[in-house]
């Protein structure tokens, strides 16, 4: 029998602890064994001392490109994971969500490199002025924690669960130890083998535990981060671990929750929204055989539409073909194992004590191409709870399978109360085309939900659906859902970094952050910055331009050219009650004239203007005033070459400080220029 291995200390090892037999969820056949018995303390030291330093040597741009390269590689070999995934009971669609959804997370996080500096750390927000004359300022930087991310994952998404978590810690510059759920660890192991063989990640960046990880939390320290996905009860037990409390270790919990889908009162039979609702609920009940932390468990419906929903949903569920995922036409596979089937049936029986089964049977359902007895198959179950404020089991007991409860509401306030009875959920969806209803519901229900999807005909074709967390949005929820956040774009990456406030003179803060701070020393010597290649430009390099006298003719000519004849520029008789004392120059004239002053026209290393950030007009400019520009290199970001024929280049952000006769700033902006590198290798 095959031995599935753990990856620890740079080697594949079988472990020497108690062995666990792994099974094919469809056939029940034994497919291998796994054990642990690993030295967790050594694994964590290896991650901290080998993986961490290697990752921290890379800039955000380099880490992002590393993730992109890994995503491209895994995408190129994705077909090899599908046959393994089928053994977990997953259909082709289920497997697509797990495998390609996970790889998609790598791509999404790789793209975030463009929102970070070309450094090993992140500079957050704007500087805080802390003194009258500007010689003392504060800023925030975020540096990678010098610890390890320990991910304790659930069994339902063996690939996605791992990749969505390691994508953010690797992007932050922190290594990971992944504890895969033993039940489906054989699929995680196959993915990690491919990752290790690709040799894309630095050594020590990733380790894998397939067997038991009991005792691993005894070795965590203050710079480590622990994440957990799974049941609320297990999560609460882990969260209270004494070592986590003593060392103040961050613990992010994403627990299974009693998510709901709400049908708006306007979405009556015959409307597109009613059909969308029925289809979405049926999909969320049956995808992954209901084994999703985001699956719909509570179906909240206007009381007048209860019978219509029950009939329509029952009809769709009756057409769901259950069986071997490898057979064409099968739409729902099995649960992940016999232990899961036992737990699901026990909880179905608990729910049946307080509400009525209107669809589903423990015995009377068909399975295509497999044995009900040998595989971990269950029928979808639909309950009706006519008194959801009285019979509360549906708000307390989660069945982690294809099970949901229909319940009525009288008005939108009741719908909100029922949604909140879940005591904290990862996701809620509302199907309506009534914008007022949507506003009232969202504002009333949001504090108890991590995500709310408002679904209607306008977005249904492109919607990713109720059950799909997105890499650039937070995934988590309050209360029962664990109170944590995963993914969320930059937010997720920051979970693995330490935010530190730094204070000092602008020149000092500039030297540390590698971003020019207003008031810092400027270098005005040497050639014009447009004569310099990317490598030659230094932060603080400054051009002090000639000055320009603003005239009334400038204002009128710009108005004619641009078509902007706003009264403040053109009619001195309309200025009563405004902040202006006379006709004022257009802000965009000031911006345009500034460009005319700071640009060095002949062809050189500067390729193009890439955009404008943070443009502010801070003081009116009237005819007769003169303006000049302090044009300063603010930040540099290397750009990767698209192909071997592409020009080697980078983005330079320049601070455009336009000032008047009194040396007061009248306009501040940041422009982005694309600058050629001298070294074209």
With bands split at pLDDT 50, 70 and 90, how would you rate the model's confidence at 156?
confident
Examine the domain organization and report whether 572 and 641 are in the same domain: yes
The two tokens of residue 322 are: 């259950």
Q: How many domains does the chain have?
A: 3
- Cβ(140)–Cβ(500) under 8 Å? yes
With bands split at pLDDT 50, 70 and 90, how would you rate the model's confidence at 315?
very high
Examine the domain organization and report whether 540 and 635 are in the same domain: yes
pLDDT in tens, 565-601: 999 999 988 989 899 999 999 999 999 999 999 999 9
Asked if 293 is an active-site residue, the reply is yes
Query: Strand runs (DSSP E) across 275-415, as ranges?
Result: 298-302, 356-359, 381-384, 403-409
| Rounded CA separation 371/378 (Å) | 11
Of 315-324, 391-400, 476-485, 586-595, which gets the smallest average pLDDT?
A: 476-485
Give the model's pLDDT for residue 646.
Answer: 86
CATH number where 548 lies: 3.10.129.10
Is position 544 within any domain?
A: yes
Region 219-232 average pLDDT: 91
Tell me the backbone φ, ψ of residue 635, rounded to 5 degrees: -160, 150
pLDDT in tens, 407-442: 999 999 999 999 999 999 999 999 999 999 999 999
| Residue at token pair 């899961």 | 340
- Measured CA to CA in angstroms, residue 290 lies from 311, 341, 377, 402 at distances of 20, 12, 12, 4
- The percent of residues above 90 in pLDDT, for the chain, comes to 72
**Mode of pairing for the β-strands spanning 626-639 and 548-549:** antiparallel
Which residue, among 122, 121, 146, has the nearest Cα to 50 in the 3D structure? 146
In the chain, the largest separation of any two C-alpha atoms, in whole Å, equals: 92
Burial (Cβ within 10 Å: 0-12, 13-18, ≥19) of residue 593: buried
Examine the domain organization and report whether 283 and 430 are in the same domain: yes
Give the model's pLDDT for residue 488.
Answer: 82
Residue 16 pLDDT more than 80?
Answer: no
Examine the domain organization and report whether 238 and 275 are in the same domain: no
- Measured CA to CA in angstroms, residue 478 lies from 160, 168, 534, 645 at distances of 22, 21, 47, 50
Residue 511 pLDDT more than 80?
Answer: yes
Examine the domain organization and report whether 325 and 465 are in the same domain: yes
Examine the domain organization and report whether 140 and 238 are in the same domain: yes
| Letter string b/e over residues 542-555, b meaning 16 or more CB atoms within 10 A of that residue's CB | bbebeebebeeebb
Is position 504 within any domain?
A: no
Range of the domain at 412: 260-469
Examine the domain organization and report whether 199 and 55 are in the same domain: yes
Question: Which is it for the CA torsion 356, 399, 314, 392, positive or negative?
Answer: positive
Give the model's pLDDT for residue 155.
Answer: 84
User: Which member of 254, 265, 284, 486 is catalytic?
Assistant: 254
State the pTM of this model: 0.87
Examine the domain organization and report whether 239 and 306 are in the same domain: no
Region 303-325 average pLDDT: 93
- Cβ(275)–Cβ(315) under 8 Å? no
- Residue count of the chain, please give it: 681
CATH number where 457 lies: 3.40.309.10
Which residue, among 217, 242, 215, 219, has the nearest Cα to 228 in the 3D structure? 217
With bands split at pLDDT 50, 70 and 90, how would you rate the model's confidence at 473?
confident
- Measured CA to CA in angstroms, residue 154 lies from 92, 118, 124, 416 at distances of 20, 35, 33, 30
Is position 485 within any domain?
A: no
Residue 681 pLDDT more than 80?
Answer: no
Residue 562 pLDDT more than 80?
Answer: yes
Examine the domain organization and report whether 439 and 584 are in the same domain: no
Query: Around Cβ 307, how many Cβ atoms within 10 Å?
Result: 12
Is position 248 within any domain?
A: yes
pLDDT in tens, 107-135: 999 999 988 888 899 999 899 999 998 89
Residue 540 pLDDT more than 90?
Answer: yes
The two tokens of residue 34 are: 């796994």
Burial (Cβ within 10 Å: 0-12, 13-18, ≥19) of residue 643: exposed
Examine the domain organization and report whether 250 and 386 are in the same domain: no
CATH number where 202 lies: 3.40.605.10
Long-range contacts of 463-467 (CB under 8 A, 24+ apart): 465/280, 465/283, 465/284, 466/259, 466/261, 466/280, 466/284, 466/294, 466/296, 466/427, 466/429, 467/283, 467/284, 467/287, 467/292, 467/294, 467/295, 467/296, 467/427
Is position 664 within any domain?
A: yes
Which residue, among 450, 451, 452, has the nearest Cα to 479 in the 3D structure? 450
- Measured CA to CA in angstroms, residue 291 lies from 194, 267, 336, 370 at distances of 26, 28, 8, 20
Examine the domain organization and report whether 454 and 595 are in the same domain: no
Give the model's pLDDT for residue 66.
Answer: 95
Region 195-210 average pLDDT: 96
Residues 6+ apart with CB under 8 A from 436: none
| Residue at token pair 């004849």 | 565
pLDDT in tens, 246-260: 999 999 888 888 999
DSSP bridge pairs for 142: 122, 499
Which residue, among 551, 549, 546, 588, has the nearest Cα to 566 in the 3D structure? 588
Give the model's pLDDT for residue 420.
Answer: 95
Rounded (10°) angle between helices 587-598 and 552-562 = 100
The two tokens of residue 33 are: 């064994």
H-helix or E-strand spanning residue 38: none
Residue 262 pLDDT more than 90?
Answer: yes
Which residue, among 168, 194, 204, has the nearest Cα to 67 in the 3D structure? 168
Burial (Cβ within 10 Å: 0-12, 13-18, ≥19) of residue 321: middle
User: Which member of 210, 293, 394, 428 is catalytic?
Assistant: 293
Which residue, among 323, 472, 478, 345, has the nearest Cα to 402 in the 3D structure? 345
With bands split at pLDDT 50, 70 and 90, how would you rate the model's confidence at 474?
confident
**Mode of pairing for the β-strands spanning 225-230 and 149-152:** parallel
Asked if 615 is an active-site residue, the reply is no
Give the model's pLDDT for residue 37.
Answer: 84
Is position 681 within any domain?
A: no
H-helix or E-strand spanning residue 426: none
Residue 627 pLDDT more than 90?
Answer: yes
Residues 6+ apart with CB under 8 A from 323: 330, 333, 366, 367, 368, 369, 370, 377
DSSP secondary structure code for residue 385 in this structure: -
Vertex 220, ends 215 and 226: CA angle to 5°? 90
Is position 414 within any domain?
A: yes
The two tokens of residue 103 are: 């790889």
Examine the domain organization and report whether 296 and 432 are in the same domain: yes
- The percent of residues above 70 in pLDDT, for the chain, comes to 100
The two tokens of residue 343 are: 């737990």
- Cβ(32)–Cβ(3) under 8 Å? yes
DSSP string, 50-75: IIHHHHHTS-HHHHHHHHHHHHHHHH
Which residue, among 675, 634, 636, 674, has the nearest Cα to 656 in the 3D structure? 634
| Residue at token pair 């082709």 | 92
Give the model's pLDDT for residue 189.
Answer: 95
Is position 7 within any domain?
A: no
DSSP string, 115-152: GS-SSSSEEEEEEEE-SSSSS-EEEEEEEE-SS-EEEE
């Amino acid at each position: 029998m095959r031995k599935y291995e753990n990856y620890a200390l740079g080697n594949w090892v079988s472990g020497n602890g108690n062995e666990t037999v792994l099974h094919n969820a469809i056939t029940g056949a034994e497919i291998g064994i796994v054990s642990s018995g690993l030295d967790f303390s050594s694994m964590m030291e290896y991650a901290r001392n080998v993986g961490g330093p290697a990752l921290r040597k890379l800039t955000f741009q380099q880490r992002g490109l590393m993730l992109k390269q890994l995503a491209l590689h895994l995408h190129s070999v994705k077909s090899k994971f599908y046959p393994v995934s089928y053994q977990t009971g997953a259909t082709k669609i289920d497997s697509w969500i797990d495998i390609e959804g996970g790889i998609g997370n790598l791509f999404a996080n790789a793209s975030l490199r463009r929102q970070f500096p070309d450094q090993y750390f992140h500079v957050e927000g704007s500087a805080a002025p802390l003194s009258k004359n500007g010689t003392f300022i504060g800023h925030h930087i975020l540096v990678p924690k010098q610890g390890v991310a320990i991910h304790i994952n659930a069994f339902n998404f063996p690939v996605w669960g791992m990749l969505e978590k390691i994508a953010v810690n690797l992007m932050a510059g922190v290594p990971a130890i992944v504890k895969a759920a033993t039940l489906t660890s054989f699929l995680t192991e196959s993915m990690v083998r491919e990752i290790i063989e690709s040799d894309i990640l630095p050594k020590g960046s990733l380790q894998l535990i397939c067997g038991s990880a009991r005792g691993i939390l005894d070795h965590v320290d203050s710079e480590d981060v622990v994440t957990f996905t799974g049941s609320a009860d297990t999560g609460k037990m882990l969260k209270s671990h004494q070592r986590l409390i003593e060392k103040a270790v961050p613990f992010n919990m994403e627990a299974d929750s009693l998510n709901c889908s709400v049908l708006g009162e306007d979405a009556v039979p015959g409307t597109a929204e009613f059909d969308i609702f029925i289809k979405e609920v049926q999909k969320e009940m049956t995808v992954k055989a209901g084994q999703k932390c985001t699956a719909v468990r509570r179906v909240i419906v206007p009381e007048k539409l209860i019978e219509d929903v029950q009939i329509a949903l029952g009809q769709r569920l009756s057409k769901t073909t259950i069986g071997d995922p490898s057979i064409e036409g099968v739409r729902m596979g099995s649960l992940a194992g016999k232990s899961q089937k036992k737990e699901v049936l026990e909880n179905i029986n608990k729910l049946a004590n307080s509400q009525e089964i209107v669809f589903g049977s423990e015995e009377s359902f068909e399975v295509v191409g497999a044995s009900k007895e040998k595989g971990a198959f269950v029928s979808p179950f639909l309950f009706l709870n006519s008194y959801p404020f009285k019979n509360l089991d549906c708000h307390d007991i989660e069945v982690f399978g294809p099970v949901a409860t229909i319940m009525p509401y009288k008005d939108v306030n009741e719908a909100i109360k029922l949604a909140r009875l879940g005591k904290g959920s990862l996701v809620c969806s509302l199907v309506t085309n009534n914008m007022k209803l949507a506003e009232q519901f969202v504002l009333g229900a949001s504090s108890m939900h991590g995500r709310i999807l408002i679904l209607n005909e306008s977005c249904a074709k492109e919607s990713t659906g109720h059950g799909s967390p997105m890499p650039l949005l937070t995934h988590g929820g309050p209360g029962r859902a664990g109170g944590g956040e995963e993914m969320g774009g930059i937010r997720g990456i920051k979970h693995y970094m330490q935010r530190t406030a730094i204070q000092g003179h602008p020149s000092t803060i500039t030297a540390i952050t590698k971003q020019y701070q207003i008031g810092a020393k400027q270098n005005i010597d040497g050639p014009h910055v447009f004569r310099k290649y990317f490598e030659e430009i230094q932060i603080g390099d400054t051009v002090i331009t000639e000055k320009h006298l603003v005239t009334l003719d400038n204002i009128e000519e710009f108005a004619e050219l641009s078509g902007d004849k706003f009264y403040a520029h053109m009619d001195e008789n309309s200025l009563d009650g405004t902040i202006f004392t006379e006709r004022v120059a257009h802000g965009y004239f000031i911006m345009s004239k500034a460009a005319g002053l700071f640009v060095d026209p002949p062809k050189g290393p500067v390729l193009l203007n890439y955009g404008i950030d943070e443009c502010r007009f801070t003081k009116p400019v009237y005819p007769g005033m003169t303006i000049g520009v302090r044009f300063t290199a603010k930040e540099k970001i290397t750009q990767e070459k698209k192909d071997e024929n592409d020009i080697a280049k980078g983005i330079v952000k320049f601070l455009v400080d336009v000032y008047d006769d009194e040396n007061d700033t009248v306009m501040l902006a940041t422009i982005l220029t694309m600058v050629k590198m001298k070294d074209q290798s």
